[in-house]
Amino acid sequence: MKILVTGGTGFIGSHTCVELLDAGFEVVIIDNLYNSKADVVDKIESITGKKVSFYKSDCCDEDALDKIFNEHQIAAVIHFAGYKAVGESVAKPIMYYQNNLMSTLALCKVMAKHNCKRLVFSSSATVYGNPASVPIHEDFPLGPTTNPYGTTKLMIENILRDILISDDHWSIALLRYFNPIGAHKSGLIGESPNDIPNNLMPYIVKVANKELPYLHVFGNDYDTPDGTGVRDYIHVVDLAKGHVNAVEKVLNSTGIDAYNLGTGNGYSVLDVVKTFARVNNIEVPYQIDPRRPGDIAQCYASTDKAYKILDWKAEKGLEEMCKDSWHFLQMTKK
Ligand code: UFG
């Protein structure tokens, strides 16, 4: 059974392709390589020993999508393709709204034309805005979002709900990710941001590797155990496995539903820094700086729904996430 993965060479996309192939699915990738490299396809193939069909095309390109659906019998789609940098989205909102919304609309239009109505969408915990309490349950109020990137995720969730209202043959899973880190055990695929990273783990890795002098810890006066921000870090391989379960769910049902993909555990910035330093036996110098605008104090998931309905739960802990993130960097140097 073939699954089309948009953005399949990206960080979460590539790990998901590996898990899909391991679970016995065939994989077709469409990716314009805006934020990734073509050799990721070779790496997915070498990890799994299986072939992937790869199309270097933009997901906004309806003709390119149409060609893929003509050439393959696609059973379901996982839609990752999209811009994802929070800060950049504030500076370039038109680019974000255009790309993230247009790619989704083009995809859904071509899917409907080919009568393929099974979709897993890569959403984000950012749709909850600043939650009134933690852990966050899927039925918590959504928004207001704090940046255009987050708004595109919420808008797309709403678009998909409207599509379902118009045609109840669709089956859609909205996966709200918490904070994915780590990398595949092989060290062949992982997260490799081109510029100075925005996110905590890629920044820590660059500091540990002496590419950056020290970590800026954004605020130590939050209402959290050590004053630094608390997040639900999840190993990207666990997250990828959640997509396989979600694909199986959309293949066997109709309707639309949202699921948190997190671990249910909250760790502070200093927990992550100290765990990384300890398990990798390396120094991570840091300095306390002012809060980053738009950040919230705490964000972690209730994981009950994903467990109950998707039969999925995260299994890997923070130590393994820290080890695997560092191992990936070591491997990129070889
Ligand atoms: N942080 C630092 N220094 C840094 C980077 C981050 O102290 O250099 C802190 C932040 O203040 C926050 C925590 O580390 O407390 C995590 O920050 P990230 O930037 O890694 O992640 P966010 O929780 O801000 O956002 C991430 C993704 C979003 C997604 C969101 C979902 O970047 O795309 O999780 O909750 F929407």
Q: Encode pLDDT of 77-98 as tens digits.
A: 999 999 999 989 999 999 999 9
- Mean per-residue pLDDT over the chain, rounded: 97
334 band by pLDDT with thresholds 50, 70 and 90: confident
With beta carbons less than 8 A apart as the criterion, state whether 234 and 269 touch.
no
Residue nearest to atom 24 of ligand 1 (CA): 295
82-121 burial code (b ≥16 CB/10 A, e <16): bbbbbebbeebeeebbebbbebbebbbebbeeeebbbbbb
| pLDDT at residue 274 greater than cutoff 80 | yes
Residue nearest to atom 3 of ligand 1 (CA): 217
| pLDDT at residue 194 greater than cutoff 90 | no
Query: Could you identify the atom of ligand 1 that is nearest to the CA of residue 272?
Result: 14
Omega before 135 within 30 of 0, i.e. cis:
yes
Residues that are catalytic: 149
195 band by pLDDT with thresholds 50, 70 and 90: confident
Virtual torsion, Cα 49, 53, 58, 59, nearest 10 deg: -90
With beta carbons less than 8 A apart as the criterion, state whether 45 and 52 touch.
yes
d(CA 218, ligand 1 centre) in Å? 10
pLDDT at 87: 87
| pLDDT at residue 134 greater than cutoff 90 | yes
Instruction: Please state the pTM of the whole predicted model.
Output: 0.98
| pLDDT at residue 192 greater than cutoff 90 | no
d(CA 86, ligand 1 centre) in Å? 9
Query: Could you identify the atom of ligand 1 that is nearest to the CA of residue 197?
Result: 8
Question: Which protein residues touch ligand 1 with a CB less than 6 Å away?
Answer: 84, 86, 124-126, 150, 178-179, 198-200, 203, 215-218, 229, 231, 269, 292, 295, 299
* Separation of alpha carbons 286 and 207, rounded Å: 9
283 band by pLDDT with thresholds 50, 70 and 90: very high
d(CA 71, ligand 1 centre) in Å? 40
pLDDT at 216: 98
d(CA 169, ligand 1 centre) in Å? 37
107 band by pLDDT with thresholds 50, 70 and 90: very high
